[in-house]
Amino acid sequence: MSHSIHNIRRHPAVFCLAALIVCAAISPAAWSADKPKGQELSRVIAKEMTAAQKAMQAQQWSEALKNLEAAEVVGTKSPLSTYDKFKIAEFKANCYIHLNNLKGAQTAYEAALATGGFTAEELPKTYRALFQMAATNQQPTKAIEYGKQANESGALSDNDLVIMSQLYYQQKDCKNSAVWGDKAVASFKKAGEAPKEVLYQLKLQCASDANETAGMISALYDLVRLTNKTSYWNNLIRLERQDERDDNNLRMIYRIMFDTNSMQADTDYIEMAQLLGDAALPGEAQMVLEKLMSSPGILKDEHKERTTRLLNSMKTRGDADKKGLPALDAEAAKNPAGQLDVKLGEVYFGAGDYQGASTAITRGLGKKQIKQLDEAYVYLGRAQAALKNYPEAKKAFAELKSVPNISQRVLKLWSLYADKLG
CA–CA separation, 40 and 32 (whole Å): 8
Angstrom distances, CA of residue 328 to CA of 115, 315, 337:
89, 19, 14
Band of pLDDT at residue 39, cut at 50, 70 and 90: confident
Residue-level pLDDT at 106 = 97
* pLDDT at site 268: 96
The pLDDT of residue 50 is: 95
Helices (H), 324-352: 325-334, 339-350
Closest CA to 130 of 106, 161, 157, 155: 106
Contact between 48 and 195 (Cβ < 8 Å): no
Q: pLDDT band for position 194 (50/70/90)?
A: very high
Query: What pLDDT is stored for residue 38 in this prediction?
Result: 55
pLDDT of 12: 41
Residue 37's pLDDT is 47
Predicted confidence (pLDDT) per residue in 334-388, tens digit: 999 999 999 999 999 999 999 999 999 999 999 988 989 999 999 999 999 999 9
Average pLDDT over residues 87-93: 96
Q: Number of helices (H) and strands (E), helices first, in the chain?
A: 21, 0
Radius of gyration over every alpha carbon of the chain, rounded to an integer in angstroms: 33
How far, in Å, CA of 98 to CA of 23, rounded?
10
Q: What pLDDT does residue 40 have?
A: 84
CATH architecture under which domain 18-32+41-164 falls: Alpha Horseshoe (1.25)
Contact between 133 and 105 (Cβ < 8 Å): yes
Where residue 8 falls (left for φ over 0; alpha for ψ -120 to 50; beta otherwise) is beta
> Residue 296's pLDDT is what?
93
Task: For domain 336-420, give the CATH superfamily.
Answer: Tetratricopeptide repeat domain (1.25.40.10)
Give the pLDDT mean for 266-272: 97
What confidence tens digit (pLDDT) does each residue in 63-85 have?
Answer: 999 999 999 999 888 889 999 99
- Cβ-based neighbours of 86, under 8 Å, separated by 6 or more: 112, 115, 116, 117, 118
Percent of the chain predicted with pLDDT > 70 = 91
**What pLDDT score was predicted for residue 77?**
87
Read off the pTM: 0.85
Largest CA distance in the chain: 109
pLDDT over 80 (residue 151): yes
Angle at CA 331, nearest 5°, toward 360 and 279? 65
Instruction: Identify the band that residue 18 occupies on the pLDDT scale cut at 50, 70 and 90.
Output: very low
CA atoms within 13 A on the CB side of 9: 12
Cβ contacts of 174 within 8 Å, gap of 6 or more? 168, 202, 206, 209, 210
- CB atoms closer than 10 angstroms to residue 323: 10
CA distances from 210 to 4, 9, 174, 207 (A): 11, 16, 10, 5
Q: Does residue 282 have a pLDDT over 60? A: yes
How far is CA 109 from each of CA 22, 51, 106, 136, 276, rounded to the nearest angstrom? 12, 21, 5, 15, 67
Average pLDDT over residues 229-238: 97
In the prediction, which pLDDT does 348 show? 96
Average pLDDT over residues 31-53: 75
Q: Is the pLDDT of residue 191 over 50?
A: yes
Q: Say how far apart CA 190 and CA 208 lie, in whole Å.
A: 29
Q: What DSSP state is assigned to residue 45?
A: G
Q: Are 363 and 351 in contact (CB under 8 A)?
A: no
Least Cα distance to 113 among 89, 94, 140, 135 occurs for 89
Residue at 144: amino acid letter: I
Round to whole Å and give the CA distance between 181 and 188.
11
**Domain chopping of the chain, boundaries:** 18-32+41-164, 244-323, 336-420
Interior CA angle at 215 toward 218 and 233, to 5°? 45
How high is the pLDDT of residue 206? 97
pLDDT score at 221: 98
* % the chain with pLDDT above 90: 88
Residue 349's closest CA among 361, 337, 332, 339? Answer: 361
Side chain identity at residue 335, one-letter code: N
**Predicted confidence band at 180 (pLDDT cuts at 50, 70, 90)?**
very high
CB atoms closer than 10 angstroms to residue 104: 17
* Angle between the N-to-C axes of helices 339-350 and 354-367, in degrees from 0 to 180, rounded to the nearest 10: 170
What is the rounded average pLDDT of the residues 186-200?
Answer: 96
pLDDT score of 31 more than 70: no
**87: how many CB neighbours lie within 10 A of its CB?**
27
Classified as helix, coil or strand, 301 is helix
* Residue-level pLDDT at 264: 92
Alpha-carbon distances, residue 47 vs 30, 35, 44, 377 (angstroms): 17, 19, 8, 84
